[in-house]
Chain A
């Protein structure tokens, strides 16, 4: 796959596999990510997989962008195109009021019953595409078209941590109380952030998430 390389000042190399969203480009991003993790070049500090590109972060006292590009190009040519089988992780979600304030608007927008929206969400298989925005905010691709809704025109403030939110083809479980313009269709008691340096989140890019329905008593929180 054709890649473009850009030095990001003296500490990064951005490897782009496409300019627009493309599943094949994302598969190449994760394959390159795995290849670099398996045999890290000298001076590599961390990698950041995103939708169509991979940021390679390095120590500028040890290596530089040109050296890394020369090391990465042959690996790109030799990438294994078969997607790696990530782990499958289950996340609990409660769709009951008052934890799903946008369930009714999503149902109305799509001409479905609330129960049908819930069932469609539960039936989805979600791929962890990338993390961004805030710690542990994992962008999960795979929201079925039947319940895909656009982002709201105005964000809602103080959306609680653990909210299960959707916009377009993506779903996300929030980890902080933050504003969001996505539709809130449930609340999850499953901790996403572990605080552990080796495995900071319940799932990594390339893993697959399934949702399972639970009742409000699993949440262990008062109505808020």
Chain B
């Protein structure tokens, strides 16, 4: 089968190629990268009936592209506006592009990141065994820019996959849960309670490295010089001026600023979908609670992904099924 070429007509800032990310690099200064919203990324692939590979992570800046070969695509993650050759959609969708069609994703009702996966293999350069883009360096698949061409090998049309992708409802909706520490001993007690009770606003400084929060400053006990310590995704690092930043997919691997708390891994994905100006509050949980929450969340993710991975059948199958359901509802025997 011939390859498909995707021509990028327009790409906003911070649109990049991402696979699931790389592990094992932190000791060499390399953060995991990969999708900001891992559930949205996984959903786009599941809805196409294929294992996770490389997808386009679309920022609020949006993306517009054409294909020279018919190709089925899935959009999932943030609730973005989709335009396919003049036909409009919102939120998660599986769509088939005809040759020459233009697909455009723009910031929609909610969310900061959407994932565009293709039926086939999106070709991307690997670095350290992964196509995930580390945005500050550009290593990996890379940032996508206007005029660029991307190759899809084994492009496929999968009409049995078409239709809306149900939104993921497995996220908790309360405050973002965080385990205090590991450097909370460097903060005044008042700062610890302030962190747990303040409603912050997501600042304008929000990118793949981290999300700065606007709110009252968190006071440190004294001017500090702590030895640089390793950082994980979700670390809430507080700079010398008391401003907290939640570190995300492309975070630095180490840092000398104290970390007041660490967001529970299952809440980092929903946090990434917040936008600048959104309100965000944190609630402290124990490490044991965090583990239990992440395990329960993983179960909800698996059932969601297997639900959306189910083939919907041919158009005829679907019409038949809908007719049958319709028939059951109207031929009520009571």
Contacts of B229 in A (CB 8 A): 14, 50, 52-53, 55
Residues of B within 8 A of A204 (CB): 27-28
Q: Are B230 and A137 in contact (CB under 8 A)?
A: no
User: Which residues of chain A are near B226, meaning CB under 8 Å?
Assistant: 19
B174 an interface residue at 8 Å Cβ cutoff?
no
Q: Does A205 lie at the interface of the complex (its beta carbon under 8 Å from any beta carbon of B)? A: yes
Q: Mark A2-30, 1 if CB is under 8 A from B, else 0.
A: 00001111111010000111000000000
Given the known interface contacts A61-B298, A197-B128, the answer about A10 and B265 at a Cβ–Cβ threshold of 8 Å is yes
Q: Which residues of B contact A11 (CB under 8 A)?
A: 232-234, 265
Tell me, yes or no, whether B116 is within 8 Å of chain A by CB.
no
Question: Would A48 and B27 count as touching, CB distance under 8 A?
Answer: yes
Q: Which listed residue (A7, A197, A201, A205) contacts B287, Cβ 8 A?
A: A7
Instruction: Classify chain B's interface size.
Output: 35 or more
B330: CB under 8 A from chain A?
A: no
Contact A61 B295 (CB under 8 A): yes
Chain B 230-267 against A: per-residue CB contact (8 Å), 1 yes, 0 no?
10111100000000000000001111000000111110
Across the interface, do B179 and A7 meet the contact criterion of CB distance under 8 Å?
yes
B230 close to A14 (CB less than 8 A)? yes
Interface size class of A (residues with CB under 8 A): 35 or more
Name B234's closest neighbour in chain A (CB-CB): A9
Q: CA–CA, A134 to B288, complex, Å?
A: 32
Given A9-B234, A10-B294, A134-B252: A65 touches B228 (CB 8 Å cut-off) = no
In contact, A135 and B295 (Cβ under 8 angstroms): no
| Of B40-48, B133-141, B160-168, B188-196, the one with at least 4 CB within 8 A of chain A | B133-141
Q: Besides the contacts A10-B266, A47-B27, A50-B227, what 16 more A-B pairs have beta carbons closer than 8 Å?
A: A8-B182, A8-B232, A9-B178, A9-B179, A9-B262, A10-B264, A21-B227, A48-B26, A51-B227, A52-B227, A60-B291, A130-B254, A132-B252, A135-B28, A135-B134, A136-B28
